Structure 1
Amino acid sequence: MKKNNQNKRCLEINSTIEYIFDWYNKKNTKLLNVITYPYNDIRIFRDLIVEVSQNSMSVLYLCNNENKYSEIIKYIRNAGTGVTYSKIKNGNSGDECIINFSSIDNIVNIKKYYDLIIIDDISMLSPYSSTEFKEYVDMLYRNCGKIILYTFEEIMNNVDTIYVGNYFRTKPFIEPRVITTRIDLNTDIPFVMYDYIRWFKKNRRKILIITPSGEKQQMVYDYYVKRLNIVEKMKVIKYERQDHDKICRYAFENKDNAVIIVSDRVLDDFIRIPDLDIVVYFSNDECFTYKKLVYLCGEVGGMNKEGEVLLLSNGVNDNIDQAKECARQYNKISWEKGLLT
């Protein structure tokens, strides 16, 4: 059964790459939307980037995760293509290179014509909505050959679209658990949270508590430290930006003890922390868009990990419902393709 699933995942990878190549080489359309879950792999684009660049055609790879630049560059070097590449910070530099890398934030500055533009919004959470991405595509459309959108949801209507399943994960995408309560979360937590905290401690989990503001962060931190006096049982850390690397390193290396990190921001770097669970306090706050909630689920499930995403609030809103639906759809696609064990 395990070998059969591996074969299906290999088939999914190969069929996806083949579809992308056929679209680029044979279809007379300019837009392709590749839809998948957050933090999926980018290797489905590597061979296309190499082929296009070897034909002396220009490529622009837009992504806010610079580690992906390095991954593609390493692949290009190993392929021995000899093509030139550079990272650009504005729309005018790097013109002499075949492949350019830049952040999505820089889209408004792109002026050069490119034969292929790949917009990767999967490898790192960006603040841009589907409406904003549509506007960005409109800006680039007339000054490029073709565009691939790599996104967690459908961006453009009536364009070529392919849904990609879990070809590098054996586990389902993490679906969030919603905990609603009438209790004032400014001063207390529901009883079920005590059960979760005991379970987190017993299993030496790393718990990331995310709040909508610095004020709420301080309140939640004080509650766990002073009211629950939980520091006698597990380490509680208040996230500060200047201590980011130290906090991540501590959580990553401290494998034998449970750790709680209370933060007021959503950060992709936490995907590296093993045994991670996330609790979103006041999850119905408008700052928690469904996109942010879906990417948090991706952080917990990244690198084939298993964990929980708990959405704690006094009510459910559209963002919570949409996040749950996105997660269900990812798993539905993967189950139908036979990719999950």
Structure 2
Amino acid sequence: MRDIVEMDLMDYSSEAISSWYSKGELPVLNVIATPYNTPVIFGELIGEVIKKNKKILYITNVEEEDNQLIKYIKSRLNCRSYSYIRKGKEKTSANILFINHEAAMDYKDDVELVIYDDLNGYSTYSRLEIQILLDHLYKYTRSLITYSTERIFCNSPVFEAPTIGGSYPIREPRVLTTRIDLSRDIPYIMYDYLSWFTKINRKVIIYTPNRSATYKVYNYLVSLKDKLKAVVHKLEDERKDKNIEYLMKAKDLSLIVITNCYEDNYKDMRDIDVIVFNADHRTFDNKKLLFFCGKVGLYNKGGQGEVILLANETTDEMDVAKNTARRFNKVAWERGFFSC
């Protein structure tokens, strides 16, 4: 039953996007979806543009080896005419041009379609920064699509794809407030949650606002690792750590990773929970928090996994993230996406 639902959902989204393009009435479309949603919903439209032998500029900060869309166009569209542009001034005859945000600032060639994908992987770019880039590219294209957790252009139509492929609801974050000064100490309630997670062999990622907090939390948990019966690791920069990568994939192992790095460095994780330590710190905007929720949803089956925001007080950014996650789920339920 689920396979049928998955196909219906994909077709529904693909057909809606292709219909907008074929009408040609409005040049910009906002596609709003959950973090880490699939880019394959653009597959049908990309196939149409390729048949016309026209160019597509696809902006993404995901590396080539992790790009789901490349795998799709190779296998389903039988297309090998694509190129990854490292600098915006590079010339290529390929039909699909993949480029990152920074390089796209220098791009000045005409294309049929521009797609800005801010969902397939986490990026630090704000709504305003994306608008500035797309304002630059607008004069070089006939049609433009934004793929984000929020509306990028206000005076343009919106298509909502709150979940694709029959996936589970995005995890709504749980807010825990404490009177303990988190810049100085760590509350016991954090130990309670970690005790439960490690007891059932979960992988826990604790995001901190800075390196100083990473060291503080790490030193605290190292002193408790025998009680927690878990492997405790810290990650201080964006470089991949092979030890953590191995431990993330290990079964029947409790792992706690403390980090102030927010990039998507580790793939194929399973059974993860997220704790955001000092979530009311200015470092944690609603986009980061929402992507943490998406990460838990992506790497868990059956709707499991927790996102805990530990803070001294609830901020507007935390409220926005929580309300956005809740709205995605509400829309998905109303459309019957989780009915089976």
Secondary structure of 2:163's counterpart equals coil
AA aligned to 1:339 is F
Q: Deviations over 1:269-296 (max 9, x none)?
A: 3453211111111111111110000001
> What is the CA distance between 1:253 and its match in structure 2?
3.1
Match of 2:59 in 1: 62
Tell me which residue corresponds to 1:321: 319
Task: Give 1:260's aligned amino acid.
Answer: I
1:71, CA displacement in angstroms?
3.5
- For normalisation by structure 2, the TM-score amounts to 0.92
How far apart are the structure 2 equivalents of 1:69 and 1:259?
Answer: 24
Deviations along 1:54-98, one digit per CA (max 9) or x if unpaired, are 211111111011247753334333356556221111222133222
Report the Cα offset of residue 43 of structure 1.
1.1
Match among 189, 192, 197 for residue 192 of structure 1: 189
Pairing partner for 1:310 from 299, 308, 311: 308
Which of residues 160, 166, 171 in structure 1 aligns to 2:168? 171
Q: How does 1:5-44 map to 2 (within 5 A)?
A: 7-44=4-41
Conservation of the 8 A alpha-carbon contact between 1:180 and 1:315: yes
In the alignment, which residue of structure 2 is the partner of 1:296?
A: 292
% identity of equivalent residues? 36
Q: What aligned pairs does 1:65-104 form with structure 2 within 5 A after superposition?
A: 65-67=62-64, 70-79=67-76, 84-104=81-101
- Decide whether the 8 Å contact of 2:205 with 2:273 is kept in 1: yes
CA contact (8 A) 1:169 1:303 kept: no
Which residue of structure 1 aligns with residue 277 of structure 2?
281
**8 Å Cα contact 2:270-2:299 kept in structure 1:** no
For residues 242 and 311 of structure 1, what CA distance do their matches in structure 2 show?
22
Give the counterpart of 1:261 among 257, 262, 282. 257
3-state SS, counterpart of residue 269 of structure 1 = coil
Q: Which SS does the other structure have where 1:109 is aligned?
A: coil
Q: What is the deviation of 1:159?
A: 0.7
Q: Choose between structure 1 and 2: higher helix proportion.
A: 1
User: Equivalents in 1 of 2:229, 2:75: separation in Å?
Assistant: 49
How far apart, in 2, do the equivalents of 1:294 and 1:273 lie?
Answer: 18
Q: Distance in 1 between matches of 2:86 and 2:215?
A: 36
8 A contact 1:225–1:231 mirrored in 2: no
Output the aligned Cα RMSD: 2.1
Q: Do 1:165 and 1:333's aligned partners in 2 also have CA atoms closer than 8 Å?
A: yes
- Mapped to 1, the partners of 2:171 and 2:286 lie a distance apart of 14
- 1:88-127 to 2 correspondence within 5 Å? 88-127=85-124
Q: How many residues align?
A: 337
2:117, 2:189 → 1: CA distance? 38
1:189-246 CA deviation, whole Å, 9 max, x = no partner? 33432321221121111111111111111111111123x3547721111114476231
Aligned to 1:250: 246
Aligned equivalents of 1:300 and 1:155: distance in 2? 25
State the match for 1:205 in structure 2.
202
TM-score (norm 1): 0.92
Specify which of 138, 151, 156 is matched with residue 154 of structure 1: 151
Give the secondary-structure state (helix, strand or coil) at the position aligned to 1:179. strand
2: distance between equivalents of 1:240 and 1:120? Answer: 27
Question: Distance between the aligned counterparts of 1:127 and 1:266, measured in 2?
Answer: 9
User: Which residue in the other structure is 2:131 paired with?
Assistant: 134
User: For residues 114 and 57 of structure 1, what CA distance do their matches in structure 2 show?
Assistant: 7
Amino acid at match of 1:265: C
